[in-house]
Amino acid sequence: MSGSFSVIHRDASCNARLGSLETPHGIIETPIFMPVGTNATVKAMTPENLQTVNAQIILANTYHLYLRPGHRLVEQMGGLHRFMNWDRPILTDSGGFQVFSLGELRKISEEGVKFQSHIDGSYHMLTPELAVQVQEALGADIIMCFDECPPATAEYDYVSRSLELTARWARRCKDAHHRQGQQLFGIIQGGMHYDLRARSIDDICSIGFDGYALGGLSVGEEKEQMYGVMECCSPLLPQDSPRYIMGIGAPEDLIEAIWHGYDMFDCVMPTRNARNGMLFTSQGRINIKAKVYEEDAGPLDPACSCMVCKKYSRAYLRHLYRCGEILASQLNTFHNLHYYLDLMRQARQAIKDNQFAQFRKQFVR
């Protein structure tokens, strides 16, 4: 196994922890949020913008890059870092979630998943071996095992069979992984069933990976169910490995996950919401489309230090959005990502000061 993860400090009042994860492209301080760069770009952000908002690591999508432009072209261009001019760490997902989101356009077997491209209708077979091969070619610092992600409504027996398939695929992923310096994370499934989650943890941890991720959350379940799974799994996971919850993004969910001892998170929420005019502030969410901001000369968030809040009024941001200007997406995304990454900075400081329980109170409803 590659990489080195260290727990630097544990908050005295809870399971929250500060960590350090070494990669070939730099050290990541955890807890950390990873902006999603689906097509080798975080929408509306340049790499320089991402550095300005202190993004330590970004996520790219294997499914989309496999279909377009193709992993071999990216490899020919020197790998994903050089292709997109990003010199900090990158994590790629396995493509599993996107494939399983295709519904009737895909068919699952022991070998893998046959699916139809959403781009041109062509058919492809994504196997655990191919998922690893594609991610090795892309050259990410951290790659993910190929897994089946059942919906939150799936029956118990189906979820039970699914996590067994995920474990067999995880073993195949590990056997197929050969790139030195690249970390491979295993994925825990099991739906909302605590006993199945425990089984999945046993199965995946017995194989042994550089880190462990909880999959199958934020797929339509209630928050209480999500938080229950977080709490159930945390004491069962290895203490000396990074813990990643895939796809959760609401600020209060991130804080709850950190409280339970998780380290890494990703979601499209801050970037997608930004493009739809929904902005995160220290006082809650703001719908910049609302007429109440038409003549508002104040900053988006007086407590925010980002360049958007320093330079532009709510009235101007509303005007840009209503006109459909590209700058609206750029400024809104910049602010939302600054908010998320600064939230992680504040969380790390609170843990360091043994004050995370107090910090969490502002997010608990």
224 burial (CB, 10 Å; 0-12 / 13-18 / 19+) is exposed
- Bond before 31 cis per omega within 30 degrees: yes
Q: Is the pLDDT of residue 98 over 90?
A: no
Q: Would residue 266 count as lying in a domain?
A: yes
Read off the pLDDT of residues 53-79 as tens digits, 9 standing for 90 and up: 999 999 999 999 999 999 999 999 999
Catalytic-residue membership of 93 = yes
High-pLDDT (> 90) share of the chain, %: 91
Residue of 11, 93, 253, 301 marked catalytic: 93
* Strands (DSSP E) found in 1-160: 4-10, 17-23, 26-30, 32-37, 58-60, 90-92, 106-108, 113-116, 123-126, 142-144
Q: Is the pLDDT of residue 27 over 80?
A: yes
Q: Would residue 246 count as lying in a domain?
A: yes
Q: Would residue 50 count as lying in a domain?
A: yes
CA distance linking residue 5 with residue 21, whole number of Å: 4
When pLDDT is averaged across residues 93-116 and rounded to a whole number, the result is: 86
Single pTM value for the model:
0.97
Q: Would residue 290 count as lying in a domain?
A: no
Q: What is the CA radius of gyration of the chain?
A: 20
Number of structural domains in the chain: 1
Domain hosting residue 41, numbered range: 4-274+334-363
b vs e for 9-39, b when ≥16 Cβ sit within 10 Å of the residue's Cβ? Answer: ebbeebbbbbbebbbebeebebbbbbbbbbe
Q: Of how many residues is the chain composed?
A: 365
Predicted local confidence at residue 364, as pLDDT:
77
Please, what is the average pLDDT of the chain?
96
Catalytic-residue membership of 157 = no
- End-to-end Cα spacing for the chain: 41
Predicted local confidence at residue 2, as pLDDT:
54
Predicted local confidence at residue 67, as pLDDT:
96
User: 365 falls in which pLDDT band (50, 70, 90)?
Assistant: low
Q: Would residue 234 count as lying in a domain?
A: yes
Lateral strand order in the sheet of 123-126: 106-108, 113-116, 123-126
Q: Would residue 225 count as lying in a domain?
A: yes
Q: Would residue 188 count as lying in a domain?
A: yes
Q: 220 — phi, psi (to 5°)? A: 115, 0
Q: Is the pLDDT of residue 202 over 80?
A: yes
Predicted local confidence at residue 209, as pLDDT:
99
**Cα 337–343–349 angle (5° rounding)?**
140
Read off the pLDDT of residues 111-149 as tens digits, 9 standing for 90 and up: 999 999 989 999 999 999 999 999 999 999 999 999 999
Q: Would residue 227 count as lying in a domain?
A: yes
Residue of 141, 147, 203, 266 marked catalytic: 266
Host H or E run for residue 334: helix 326-352
Instruction: Read off the CATH number of the domain in which 22 is found.
Output: 3.20.20.105
When pLDDT is averaged across residues 248-256 and rounded to a whole number, the result is: 97
Predicted local confidence at residue 3, as pLDDT:
61
